Amino acid sequence: MARFLILLGLILILLGLLWPLLAKLGLGRLPGDIVVERDNLRIYIPLASALLVSVLLSVLLTILFWFWNR
């Protein structure tokens, strides 16, 4: 369990360092993300972005656990 938490922490640090590069790729402004803009209100619901991140993390963690338990 300790290895998993350390690995998760390293992945989060790496994502934090790469965040400016990911923002330039347009992640967060995908078709399917909902934006509601009114006079003094802006609501952003990243449905497609959340789905993409979920799929990518699922694939990445599945591969990591497969190699880890070999």
Q: What is the pLDDT of residue 17?
A: 87
User: How sure is the predictor about 12, in pLDDT bands with cuts at 50, 70 and 90?
Assistant: confident
CA–CA distance from 29 to each of 3, 17, 36, 69 (Å)? 34, 20, 13, 37
Residue showing tokens 């938490």: 5
Tokens read off for 33? 């993300």
Query: Residue 43: which residues within 8 A CB-CB, separation 6 or more?
Result: 34, 35, 36
pTM comes to 0.60
pLDDT digits (tens, 9 = 90+) for 23-49: 777 666 788 889 999 999 999 888 988
pLDDT digits (tens, 9 = 90+) for 50-69: 898 899 989 988 998 888 88
- Please state the φ and ψ torsions of residue 36, each to the nearest 5 degrees: -115, 120
